[in-house]
Amino acid sequence: LDQLIGEGVAGRRVLVRSDLNVPLDGSTITDDGRIRASVPTIKALADAGARVVVVAHLGRPKGEPEARYSLAPVAARLGELLGRDVAFATDTVGESARQTVAGLVDGGVALLENVRFNAGETSKDDVERKAFAAQLAGLADAFVSDGFGVVHRKQASVYDVAELLPHAMGTLVAAELDVMTRLTENPERPYAVVLGGSKVSDKLGVIDNLLGKADTLLIGGGMVFTFLAAQGHQVGKSLLEEDQIATCQGYLTRAAEAGVEIVLPTDIVVDTAFPSGEREPAPRVVAADAIPADALGLDIGPASGETFAAALQGARTVFWNGPMGVFEVPAFADGTRAVAQALTEVTAAGGLSVVGGGDSAAAVRTLGFADDAFGHISTGGGASLEYLEGKVLPGITVLESDKVAG
Ligand code: 3PG
């Protein structure tokens, strides 16, 4: 980014791909972390006199406009955080976008409507995707990739547009990559990884890769029940991916062979049904190897919270992705809180703690932890997992292509 700015951006239209995919309750933003994280790059460009055109997605609309996925509330919040007006275009590459961009003064900022309202953005058809990228590129003179949360997506506003314009990496992507490198290249040991969230199938690649790298792997959240089933336990009505039981058995065997310690919960907080607004939660703590048939696991139990915290004590590097339970409901938030607290202690002791993923980031903020209690809160969920899996991230490799800023 410094190089692009150094070459002079005053009066030039710079398209910035940010990840502004924030959780919304109606039109209220419940965690603005990703918007905050996107401010430095936008501000640096605007301060240097660029006409900044921000493009982003919200949720997963199916290629056409849907009011609930409008970025309008995000434009307002971005304006507050930047301390300047953000013009909002009600389409992405249509008449409103063209007029909004044409109306920008030097140092002005505009946000385009949700890029995923256009089928070309996520199309698997290269021709369709590239045609849409060309429309986006037509709005700008240069491109800055700053949406770390989407760099694993081969999409028009992330990948194809970079092939069409002089481009640079934004400061957020650069900072995130820096941390990811510290996690993958000679991490300081002991290195512990905590995985949670609902599905094992989302984490297969990362577990596979980490079995050769981490010293300790702690597992909680909905995905843990498939591991408990792999150990031969009944899991009642808890989330279970039957087709992954054998894979989890394989992981347990490989971990034992590789000397990687896998820590699973010994107790579980259960209820008879998933929490809903209609009834008060009725949490019960049961042993992880004796989950009753009518019970649904919703959090790791208090003894497990202590075990997890003890296992993290003394770690020099910790990566955490995925809540330990249904943290949105206070009765099932204690496991996630215990892990968050343990990570803050790693930070306080001078270790590197990294919280990855939208859900985990939202969890720590919802539970009242300050961002600076952690070494780093990554804006990327899938992107950070894919990086740790050792996968090629299209949105990064494309920046290494020939068409450099200038
Ligand atoms: C995220 O929420 O992880 C990013 O914004 C990417 O969103 P996606 O998974 O819908 O591509």
* Co-location of 239 and 157 in the same domain: no
Q: How far is CA 238 from the centre of its chain?
A: 25
Give the CATH number of the domain where residue 321 resides.
Answer: 3.40.50.1260
Q: Which of 199, 213, 254, 391 is catalytic?
A: 199
* 153 and 202 both lie in a single domain: no
Closest CA to 218 of 336, 386, 395, 363: 336
Q: Does residue 55 form part of some domain?
A: yes
Which structural domain, as residue segments, surrounds residue 324?
Answer: 189-350
**In a domain? residue 243:** yes
What is the percent of the chain where pLDDT is above 70? 99
pLDDT digit string, tens, across residues 13-67: 999 999 999 999 999 998 899 999 999 999 999 999 999 999 999 999 999 999 9
Residues 153, 394 contacting (CB under 8 angstroms): yes
Q: What is the ipTM of this complex?
A: 0.98
Judge whether residue 299 has pLDDT over 60: yes
pTM of the entire structure? 0.91
In a domain, 179, yes or no: no
382 catalytically annotated: yes
> Is the residue at 309 inside a domain?
yes
Q: Would 127 be classed as within a structural domain?
A: yes
In angstroms, the CA 398 to CA 390 distance is 17
Is the domain of 145 the same as that of 291? no
Q: What is the structure's pLDDT at 282?
A: 96
Both 154 and 257 in one domain: the answer is no
| Domain count of the fold of the chain | 2
- The answer on 118 and 74 residing in a single domain is yes
Helices marked H in 286-372: 302-312, 334-348, 358-366
Residues 198, 156 within the same domain: no
What's the chain's average pLDDT?
95
Q: Is 393 annotated as a binding residue?
A: no
Ligand 1 pocket at CB < 6 A: 19, 21, 60, 149-150, 153, 358, 381-382
Q: Is residue 103 part of a domain?
A: yes
Give me the catalytic one of 13, 17, 34, 51.
Answer: 34
Q: Is residue 7 part of a domain?
A: yes
Give the model confidence (pLDDT) of 69-90 as tens digits: 999 999 999 999 999 999 999 9
Distance 401 CA to ligand 1 centre (A): 24
Helix axes 334-348, 302-312, angle to 10 degrees: 20
Task: Kindly indicate the confidence band of residue 402, based on its pLDDT and cuts at 50, 70 and 90.
Answer: low
